[in-house]
Amino acid sequence: MRRRVILLGPPGSGKGTVAGRLKTEFGFDHFSTGHWLRQEVAKGSALGRQAGLFLERGELVPDELVLALVKAALSQTQPDQGYLSDGFPRTLAQAVAFDTWAEVRGLGIQQVIYFECTEALVLSRITGRRSCGNCGRVYHVAMIPPKQAGRCDECGGELVQRADDTETVVRKRFQIYLRETEPLVEYYRKQGSLDVVDASQPSDEMMTRTMTLLHR
Ligand SMILES: [Zn+2]
């Protein structure tokens, strides 16, 4: 099985859920730049202090900082150990710089799995999402409705919508994705490393398709 894998797709495409399951069910090393950034910020390292300034303002961390972080973390990785990335690279500049750096170390990307999905689908998925304020279980008003509206099946807690799961925020995030991340699809397609998952399918089917692609 290929082990150095990038998951690509818009926020709300379901790739995060697939990444989480690949990690817990199949032991993939899930490499999350978001997680590493928060770790560095918590440690108070030089990198973390710089990145923290952007995160506090709710801004995206610049390419150079993200790259420095990924290089530092992956420098301890053996080529046969592999990685599964969800959220990096986020821009073409990050992708090109990472390829150059990773190839010479034998850590080059082997496969990119693209979760293809329209804005309309992302919108309905995210704006319909509700979670239990008590136990955290996630529902969807249309796709995974609770037995009683507004109440958690598990614990009876109240179901709430996250503040940034609104149409305005979702549309804005999708536009940023189209502008900054979508060009990666063509970039990896030209390299011949791109495989596509239809992200309009239910989560279980996306998972099955992803596993098939990984084993190919
Ligand atoms: Zn609950």
Q: What is the pLDDT of residues 22-68, one digit of tens each?
A: 888 877 766 677 777 788 889 999 989 998 898 888 888 899 999 99
Q: How far is C-alpha 196 from the chain's CA centre?
A: 15
**CA 16 to ligand 1 center in whole angstroms:** 21
Residue 26 is predicted with a pLDDT of: 74
For the chain, residues with pLDDT lower than 70 are 1-2, 29-31
For residue 128, count other CB atoms closer than 10 A to its CB: 16
Selection from 32, 38, 35 nearest residue 6 by Cα: 32
User: Please, what's the largest Cα pairwise distance for the chain?
Assistant: 56
Going from N- to C-terminal start, the domains of the chain cover 4-117+181-215
User: Which protein residues have a CB closer than 5 Å to ligand 1 (ion)?
Assistant: 132, 134-135, 137, 152, 154-155, 157
State how far the Cα of 2 lies from the Cα of 91, in Å rounded to an integer.
23
**Backbone region of residue 192 per phi and psi (left: phi > 0; alpha: psi in -120 to 50; beta: other values):** left
Question: Which residues carry out catalysis?
Answer: 15, 90, 129, 162, 173
Residue 143 is predicted with a pLDDT of: 84
**CA 161 to ligand 1 center in whole angstroms:** 13
**CA 54 to ligand 1 center in whole angstroms:** 34
Residue 89 is predicted with a pLDDT of: 94
**pTM confidence score:** 0.84
Residue 150 is predicted with a pLDDT of: 95
**CA 151 to ligand 1 center in whole angstroms:** 8
Strand partners, 111: 5
Residue 1 is predicted with a pLDDT of: 55
What topology does CATH give the domain 4-117+181-215?
Rossmann fold (3.40.50)
State how far the Cα of 66 lies from the Cα of 177, in Å rounded to an integer.
17
- The side-by-side arrangement of strands in the sheet containing 138-140 is 138-140, 129-132, 159-160
User: Which DSSP symbol is given to 60?
Assistant: P
